[in-house]
Amino acid sequence: MQSSNMINYDYSVAKCFAIATIVFGIVGMAIGVLIAFQMAYPELNYLAGEYSTFGRLRPLHTDAVIFGFILSGVWSTWYYIGQRVLKVSMAESPFLMFMGKLHFWLYIVGVAVVVVTLFMGITTSKEYAEFEWPIDIVIVLIWVIWGMGIFGLIGIRREKTLYISIWYFIATFLGVAMLYLFNNMAVPTYFVAGLGKWYHSVSMYAGTNDAMVQWWYGHNAVAFVFTVPIIAMVYYFLPKESGQPVFSYKLSLLSFWGLMFVYLWAGGHHLLYSTVPDWVQTMGSIFSVVLILPSWGSAINMLLTMKGEWGQLKSNPLIKFMILASTFYMFSTIEGPIQAIKSVNALAHFTDWIPGHVHDGTLGWVGFMIIASLLHMAPRMFKREIYSKKLLEAQFWIQTTGIVLYFSSMWIAGITQGMMWRAADQYGNLAYSFIDTVNVLHPYYTIRGVGGLLYLVGFFMFSYNFYKTMTASKAIEEEPQSASPMAA
């Protein structure tokens, strides 16, 4: 049998998903910038008739970022991390290599169909679950293929101990599988009642039950796509890039099980002050507050991994991205529970504070961690040093500025909205009309658009840096043991 220190890892599938990550990131973020400016300048809704309206583009933005950019990043890092942590190359199993490539190409076909149908306005109208039942079947098939790849690689591993990152990848697979299956249970109307198009369906659940299942899914889609696999990345890439061991392996396990148990029951906080039973709402609020413990356990573990080595923040921009990502994770996971407290939610619900919260996590935590992960992988996959350190430093500050502009403008806009909506005059009548709030928020929507644009500019810089690293930067003879080599 091949010695574990002589294994030639096969990164062909990881490379494919890395490129997909960049392409879908550009598309998803560009659409996001456009719809952000549409909020400030409504005439931008009519650039291409019905196909450029906010309602048509917004699902494309969310799905391109969540299921395009983020999932491609997750899969790229899995096909990299999985082999290295389990000490086995995919090339050793023709079956696993075939399944990996099938996973990628079937996924690309699925994405193409999603783009076409959403542009056409074919949607179930469920948040993060807009796809009609034929596409759902393809998605389930893609997910099963990935699961076969995960457990197949685990089955032929040389390293018997499963590192914590593998735990998180397994949880991602199992969690999303359960959530997606239950929330997307649907009845095809044409085949059951002879009504509508052949692809049309209605949810198997109705009314309040549908809302509860939807937000059990919706909130945990954030858990098992935005959070769990990104923690898998940071537990691998931060120690590898810094050369430091994880601060506490026991804390990583404690945080894992805490996150698995608590996160699943927090979705009810999306339905406060609704027809959902009060005990479900209260449970959602309580579990959201308790969620601070495992979330901060992971984040603190990441930060303490750099104990005594903070000087690397000056010398290594990838460490800078990872540490600020962990900081944004702490930031986002204290803000979410605060918004889930009933008295705060009474002010915050339906306001722009909510997308402010979502985006400081998505842009700061998820985006920065995926960017840093791909750039750590690049020298090891392509045997070339990172093309430009200066470009990476500039990208960091441009994107950080964009994030701060985005979430701060949305905080101010959201709290302003909430206060104006509930303000009353001396007679008990509402003090402001809805259009009054729209007029007041215009400058904040403009700032939000500018923040998103800065982040997109930074992402283009990252994409160029990655491309040049892949094709034109200086070749390296030996794989770096820790800090990634990069040109000045």
Looking at residue 288, the DSSP 8-state letter turns out to be H
CA distance 129 to 111: 14
Average pLDDT by stretches of 10, the chain with 488 residues: 68 98 98 97 94 95 96 98 97 96 98 95 93 96 97 96 97 96 95 93 94 95 94 97 95 95 94 94 96 95 94 95 96 95 95 94 96 97 96 98 97 96 94 94 97 98 97 92 90
33-43 pLDDT per residue, tens: 999 999 999 99
1-25 pLDDT per residue, tens: 344 457 899 999 999 999 999 999 9
Residue 124 tokens read as: 């179930």
pLDDT on residue 201: 95
Provide the sign of the torsion angle of the four alpha carbons 156, 162, 164, 170, taken in this order.
positive
Residue 318 tokens read as: 């990838």
Length of the chain: 488
Residue type, 107: Y
CA angle, 335 as apex, 329 and 339 as ends, to 5°? 145
CA distance 379 to 389: 13
Domain limits, the chain: 13-470
* Strand ranges for 323-370 from DSSP E: none
Residue 10 tokens read as: 């096969």
CA distance 466 to 22: 9
- The answer to whether domain 13-470 has CATH 1.10.10.10 is no
Q: Yes or no: say if 347 and 432 are a contact pair by the CB < 8 Å rule.
A: no
Give one DSSP letter per residue of 116-171, joined into a string: HHHHTT-----TT----HHHHHHHHHHHHHHHHHHHHHHHT-S--S--HHHHHHHH
CA distances from 187 to 123, 173, 194 (A): 14, 25, 12
pLDDT on residue 5: 56
Closest C-alpha among 13, 180, 165, 139 to residue 86: 165
Closest C-alpha among 256, 268, 342 to residue 293: 256
pLDDT on residue 488: 84
- SS3 at position 483: coil
pLDDT on residue 146: 98
CA distance 118 to 55: 10
160-207 pLDDT per residue, tens: 999 999 999 999 999 999 999 999 999 999 999 999 999 999 999 999
